[in-house]
Structure 1
Amino acid sequence: MNKILRLFFLLTTVVLYFSSCQKFLEIEPKSDPTTASYYKTADDIRNAINGSYASLQGRNQYMQHFITLMETRSDNVSDNNSGGNAGRDYNIDRFIAGSDNVVYLEAWQSIYNAIYRCNLALANLDVVTNTAQRNQYEGELRFLRALNYFNAVRLWGNIPLTLTPVSPEESYSLIRNNQAEVYIAIETDLRLAAANLPLNFTGADLGRATQGSAKALLGKVYLTEKKFVEASGVLQEVISSKQYDLLPNVADVFSSANKMNKEIVFAVRYNKSVVDEGHPVLTYFDGPVLDPALLNAYQSGDARRDLLNTVASNSRNPVKKYFDSFDLNTNNVGNDFPLLRYADVLLMCAEALNEQGYSSTGLAITYLNQVRIRAKATEFITANLPDQGSFRNAVYQERRLELPLECQRWFDLVRTNTAAQAMQAVSLTIQPWQYLYPIPLTEVQIVNNPQTFPQNPNY
């Protein structure tokens, strides 16, 4: 992608970049297309979609920064390297990072860069003349935009909501929209994505967002909003589709030799044999400092516990869950990173059903036990979970045991309002305002309007 297009995609730094080069961008080079003239064919739209998927792969999202913001921040993992990167990640882990921390800025920029790409492609969808292809592309773009907004709203709360391409001049007047408005947009995108996407893909398209991806993410959105009826309804649609299943051996779910298996609903894809498509051993999954309470919570014989042990490889010590051999040419590994998988769908549905009313024999305990039985953990009976509260706590704990190191834990703690209690158990005292991250300092300074674009409280 040419330099002009890359700059144009950086929505979050749009004022800084374009205040100095707006005149330059008004000139359309003969050899390199500008964004105004780029989208002329269906292939151009497809390339934009691929670029949006690629944003998920990068170090500013799931390769590095999201692991810091979504997993290390929680009680699961500790960063004890106070000197690494001048304490950049350590300070986030210990709740002492200020709004000038570069991780916040780079994650913000990457998210809004991807959103801008989606907006621009959606605005030019008319160049796709094949109806089925147009519907698929719209579904993928809406899924990706929704995923990025869902991450942003959970990280920062009220955020700018832009559903059309924003010009440099318009960017000065961006506001922090209320979370409720953002969630409405996310729900709308995911419902439309589910209506337009196919049940599955094959071949080179394997890994693109599907109908099940959209519905599973929508279920997670509803659960976060405490819309339990809606959550259980759409999650049961995913279950009844028969497109997904639990693998008999939980270790096989994460095997690099078994990618996009029956349990994976959506994953960030990597390919270690292709330059710039692989990744190093993911940060903090190389000899991670895991909470002893997590490690000790597994029953004897629970197959998931071994996945948190490490294995030596090329002077690295990745956890078995994400082990992959290094490619000798690129010196990278290529295991995918799962964002949505069937075990998560079952646990979300069990939680949503229980919140609507406790039943000792209903689908909620069936779904919960399916996950436990696969892991070779003891099946729950009514005596173990005699009421709604005990069932709720069991599901929360099961999510911790099933999903560690999958960027789920911090958001689970926040949405269940158990973050302060969990962090106290690892000797960190936090307040509710710390459930959100600070808006990157430069973004606040660029807009420079405390009424419409304030900093989050206490930062």
Structure 2
Amino acid sequence: MKKIYLIIIGLTLVFTACEDDLNLAPISDPSAANFYNNTEDFELAINGAYNALGDYSTNQLYLSEVRSDNVYSVGTGVRLWNPINNFERTLQSNSLMSDAWNSCYRVIYLANMVIDNIDEGKVPDSDTRDRMIGEAKFLRALNYLDLVRFFGRVPIFDEPYSPTEALEIGRAPVSDVYTLIEQDLIDAISSLPSSYPTSMTGKVTSGAAQALLARAYLTMSGPDYGIDGPGMGLDKYGDALTLLNQVISNPNYGWVDDYASIFDYDNENNPDIVFDIQAINDGATGDRGIGTILPTLMYLESWAKINLPFAGGVPNDGTGGIDPSDDLIASCEEGDVRDDFSILMSYVDENGNPVDNPQYQKFVSLNHIPADRFNWGINFPVIRYTDVLMMKAEVLLRTGGSQSEIDGIVNQVRERAGVDPVSNVDMDMLLEERRKEFMAEGLRWHDLVRSGKAIDVMNAWAASEDDADKINTVVANDIIYAIHQDQLDVKEGLYDQNPGY
């Protein structure tokens, strides 16, 4: 069930006008505080922050999945994601940069308004008040982690600021951003419940905060590549392991035997889901505020014409769909159910012609077709129990942990996938297993960056995959993205551009 979104559409409209004006700077509007008066108002407000996560999945698709060796989409340059796949250095004019920046700060804005305005007089029950603050801090931390992974140094807005004040706040050091993320998640862990009643399904739990903090610790422990990026070369593996073990022992999460059922529209919020972005297909409207466009971005137009009642998808004309790479497909072993479920290898078009152009189908269900292409009703997994297990294997590899335990985790994943067990798993093997397990879920680029292998893996992949010879040689500055020119134009000298752009 997806209860938390059904009551927020009106609240979203309250903020739409002011949010549309925030395309030049992540500035909060304290006048919105007049809305918050009682517990019901704050419940609407925090649910509005969840609703603002609607672009989370597309940000991960464009800036992580497309960036990685999971996708070959060099195209002709007419698609906004082609330059991302090609590692072009003109991304400061690409609107996907501003979309990611603004969508993250939109959630941060709404979370800040809750944190800043809530008090005992407005929300008398202390457990409810603490829970709401914990939810807001989790959402703020989630988006700051994305910002630091995408852009490195970013301005910290940890409370509502006036426009004048905001124009004095420059990009903070990465270490300061992590300090905020860490403290927000520590607070969230202590104040969030471990589970909710069915009427509140979809809200973040203490276990999700533990898992996200473990992910942040792994990220900051990665190499720095000599840039101001997400890796800081810290040793936070022990802290991460403690958190991961707590999530693994939590009875609210657990192993799901059938891979496809994890993504079944009729089996959402199953034990493999630690936290996901809720989406609704109400069967009648095309309101993107409650559904998701994600599946539409992955399929081809000619496939849609014979399977769907509405337009959508990318033309199969060489302009560069978000196609699974040949290398990804070749990496999947015979009998692996994950690529069979996640990738459609071929189909016959409306003219009876075979189309041998693979496309992702992981989040598509022809039994759950929405009213239009913006409104697919499938949740997007942010953190899965399987991810937690495999992050633990990563930590054990980094810290000299038990090889049998590492192999056991990987072989549990492989057994579900229908492939033979392996032994003496190393980091390369773990990364390849994660690549297949989480294909189309937007984790691959982040995994490569965190592991320190992004440059070598991507250059080797491009050398063998890039028949069009359009992908630039990957260098350290490519680890993070360009700050969009709109942001640089807010105030001269307020933000500097990342090196290499």
Give TM class, smaller chain.
0.7 to 0.9
Amino acid at match of 2:416: R
Q: Which residue of 1 aligns with 2:440?
A: 405
Distance of 2:15 and 2:182 partners within structure 1: 29
AA aligned to 1:454 is: D
- Bigger relative CO (Cα 8 Å, ≥ 6 apart): 2
Query: Does the 8 Å contact 1:218/1:231 carry over to 2?
Result: yes
Residues 306 and 320 of structure 1 are in contact (CA less than 8 Å); yes or no, is this contact kept in structure 2? no
1:295 aligns with 2:329: yes
Contact 1:158 1:179 in 2 (8 A): yes
Pair 1:281–1:443, CA change in 2 (3 A): closer
CA contact (8 A) 1:372 1:378 kept: yes
Distance of 2:444 and 2:49 partners within structure 1:
25
In the alignment, which of 98, 113, 121 is matched to residue 106 of structure 2?
Answer: 113
Q: Counterpart of 1:257? A: 266
Q: For residues 62 and 39 of structure 2, what CA distance do their matches in structure 1 show?
A: 37
Aligned to 1:29: none
Please state if 1:396 is matched with 2:431.
yes
Q: CA deviation at 1:148?
A: 0.4
Matched, 1:324 2:365: yes
8 Å CA contact 1:45–1:125 kept in 2: the answer is yes
Q: Distance in 2 between matches of 1:262 and 1:35?
A: 37
The letter of the residue matching 1:109 is N
SS of equivalent residue, structure 1 residue 225 = helix
What's the secondary structure of 1:404's corresponding residue?
A: coil
List aligned pairs for 1:297-312, cutoff 5 A. 297-310=331-344
* Shift in Å, 1:36: 3.4
- Could you tell me which amino acid in structure 1 is paired with residue 500 of structure 2? N
Q: Give the whole-Å Cα distance in 1 for the aligned partners of 2:171 and 2:371.
A: 45
Letter in 2 for 1:145: R
Report the equivalent of 2:311.
Answer: none
Partner of 2:310: none
For 2:27 and 2:210, the matched residues in 1 are separated by 37
- In the alignment, the residues of structure 2 paired with residue 99 and residue 410 of structure 1 have an alpha-carbon distance, to the nearest angstrom, of 20
Give the whole-Å Cα distance in 1 for the aligned partners of 2:68 and 2:129: 40
1:433 aligns with 2:477: yes
Q: Residues 8 and 35 of structure 1 are in contact (CA less than 8 Å); yes or no, is this contact kept in structure 2?
A: no
- Partner Cα separation in structure 2 for residue 107 and residue 380 of structure 1: 39
Deviation at 1:349, TM superposition (A): 0.6
Structure 2 residue 5 is the aligned partner of structure 1 residue 5: no
Q: 1:394 to 1:132 in 2, by over 3 A?
A: same
In the alignment, is the contact (CA less than 8 A) between 2:337 and 2:418 conserved in 1? yes
In structure 2, distance between residues paired with 1:98 and 1:442: 12
Query: Which stretch shows the higher mean deviation, 363-372 or 69-78?
Result: 363-372
Given that residues 272 and 384 in structure 2 are in contact (C-alpha distance below 8 angstroms), is that contact kept between their aligned partners in structure 1? yes
Contact 1:444 1:454 survives alignment (8 Å): yes
Is the 2:335–2:418 contact (alpha carbons within 8 Å) kept by the matching residues of 1?
A: yes
- Counting only pairs closer than 5 Å after superposition, residues 177-256 of structure 1 correspond to structure 2 as 177-226=172-221, 227-256=236-265
User: TM-score, length-normalised on structure 1?
Assistant: 0.87
Aligned residue among 438, 444, 450 for 1:415: 450
Please, what TM-score do these two structures have when normalized by structure 2?
0.80
Between the aligned partners of 1:208 and 1:2, the Cα distance in structure 2 is 17
1:378 and 1:327, CA in 2 relative to 1: closer, same or farther beyond 3 A?
closer
CA 314–265 in structure 1, closer or farther in 2 if over 3 Å, else same:
farther
User: Deviation per CA, 1:232-260, whole angstroms, max 9, x where unpaired?
Assistant: 11000000112211211101001111111
RMSD: 2.6
**Aligned to 2:81, what secondary structure does the other structure show?**
helix
Matched, 1:74 2:68: yes
Change (3 A) 1:314 1:334: farther
2:87 aligned partner:
95
AA of the residue aligned to 2:15: L
Query: How far does residue 285 in structure 1 lie from its aligned partner after superposition?
Result: 2.3
How far did 1:203 drift?
A: 2.0
Q: Secondary structure at the match of 1:78?
A: coil
Quick one: which amino acid aligns to residue 457 of structure 2?
A
CA distances 1:345-392 after superposition (whole Å, capped 9, x unpaired): 00001111221114333x3333222222222222233xxx1xxxx522
Match of 2:411 in 1: 369
CA contact (8 A) 1:232 1:352 kept: yes
SS at match of 1:174: coil
Match for 1:124: what amino acid?
N
The answer to whether the Cα contact below 8 Å between 2:69 and 2:327 also exists between their aligned partners in 1 is no
- The alignment of Structure 1 onto Structure 2 pairs a total of residues equal to 431
| 1:38 maps onto 2:35 in alignment | yes
Q: Which runs of 5+ in 1 are unaligned?
A: 19-24, 27-33
Task: Please say if residues 232 and 349 of structure 1, whose CA atoms lie closer than 8 Å, have aligned partners that are also in contact.
Answer: yes
Q: Distance in 1 between matches of 2:13 and 2:333?
A: 54
Contact 1:350-1:367 within 8 A present in 2 as well: yes
Tell me by how many angstroms 1:328 deviates: 5.8
3-state DSSP of counterpart to 2:150? helix
Q: Which residue in 2 is equivalent to 1:21?
A: none
Distance 1:178 1:422, change over 3 A: same
Task: Say which is worse superposed, 145-154 or 408-417, in terms of deviation.
Answer: 408-417
Q: Which amino acid aligns with 2:399?
A: Q
Does the aligned pair in 2 maintain the 1:12–1:443 contact within 8 Å?
Answer: no
Offset of residue 278 of structure 1 = 1.9
Amino acid at match of 2:299: D
d(CA) in 2 for partners of 1:338 and 1:313?
Answer: 31
- Mind listing any 5+ residue stretches in structure 2 that lack a counterpart? 1-10, 222-235, 301-321, 464-470
Amino acid at match of 2:113: L
- CA apart distance, 1:307: 1.8
Larger CA deviation: 363-372 vs 207-216? 363-372
**Corresponding position of 1:30:** none
- Matched to 2:365, the amino acid is D
| Superposed displacement of residue 313, structure 1 | 12
